[in-house]
């Protein structure tokens, strides 16, 4: 089964507010984004944000240039239905972010909660980093949320790579400065606790 089919089946089999990673608001990334004082027209990309509520909150705060990328067409469809008419204000891209053609050095902020930790092979992680560097502006910001070392080794039936802030800084550190990090427990709708680590990086090279 391809990962695209896997995620489409998950989003077709249960409501988006019942999947394990659901949270009503991504408070830590939202607080960090607010602290960056981005202009309303500065471009933001949310990788894996197909069924996330981050786009709702960004639109409510006046951001006008938002791109959502997700493997799952169904996840995107659910969020478009939730947003209704204002979904037309958002750019929607269905596909693998490591293979999509993104505009060069366009985005001021790249956000990813829970995509990167599914990338198990070093060459795919490198493709992800290459896409990030190609699409992100110099001095732009990168917010990354992954499973922390204490989290389960699998999510939604797939294995994950777990990280702490230091290991993420080593992975991205030659071109990025780690500005903030925070560990955060996430309790799934079924009551399972998953430990996340969030990092805010700024591009330096």
pLDDT classification of 123: cutoffs 50, 70, 90: very high
The predicted structure's pLDDT at residue 21: 66
CB of 53 closer than 8 Å to CB of 26: yes
Burial class (CB in 10 A: 0-12, 13-18, 19+), 71: buried
Domain assignment present for 19: no
Domain assignment present for 18: no
Judge whether residue 187 has pLDDT over 50: yes
The predicted structure's pLDDT at residue 188: 77
Q: Which residues form the domain of 169?
A: 3-12+26-203
- Determine the average pLDDT of the residues in 4-14: 83
Work out how many domains the chain is built from and give that number: 1
For the domain that residue 74 is a member of, what is the CATH number? 3.40.50.150
Tokens 């939604």 identify what position?
Answer: 156
Judge whether residue 84 has pLDDT over 80: yes
Domain assignment present for 114: yes
Judge whether residue 182 has pLDDT over 90: yes
Domain assignment present for 49: yes
Domain assignment present for 125: yes
């Amino acid at each position: 089964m391809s990962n695209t089919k896997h995620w489409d089946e998950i989003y077709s089999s249960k409501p988006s507010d019942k999947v394990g990673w659901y949270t009503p608001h991504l408070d830590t990334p939202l607080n960090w984004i607010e602290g960056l004082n981005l202009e309303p027209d500065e471009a933001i990309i949310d990788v894996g944000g197909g069924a996330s509520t981050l786009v709702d909150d960004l639109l409510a705060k006046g951001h006008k240039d938002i791109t959502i990328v997700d493997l799952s067409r169904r996840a995107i469809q659910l969020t478009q239905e939730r947003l209704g008419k204002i979904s037309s204000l958002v750019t929607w891209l269905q596909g693998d972010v490591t293979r999509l053609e993104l505009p060069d050095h366009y985005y001021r902020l790249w956000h990813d909660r829970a995509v990167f930790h599914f990338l198990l092979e070093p060459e795919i992680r490198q493709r992800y980093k290459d896409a990030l560097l190609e699409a992100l502006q110099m001095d732009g910001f990168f917010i990354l949320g992954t499973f922390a070392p204490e989290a389960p080794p699998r999510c939604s039936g797939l294995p994950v790579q777990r990280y702490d802030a230091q290991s993420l800084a080593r992975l991205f550190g030659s071109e990025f400065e780690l500005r903030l990090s925070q560990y955060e427990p996430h309790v799934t709708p079924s009551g399972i606790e998953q430990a996340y680590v969030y990092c805010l990086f700024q591009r330096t090279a």
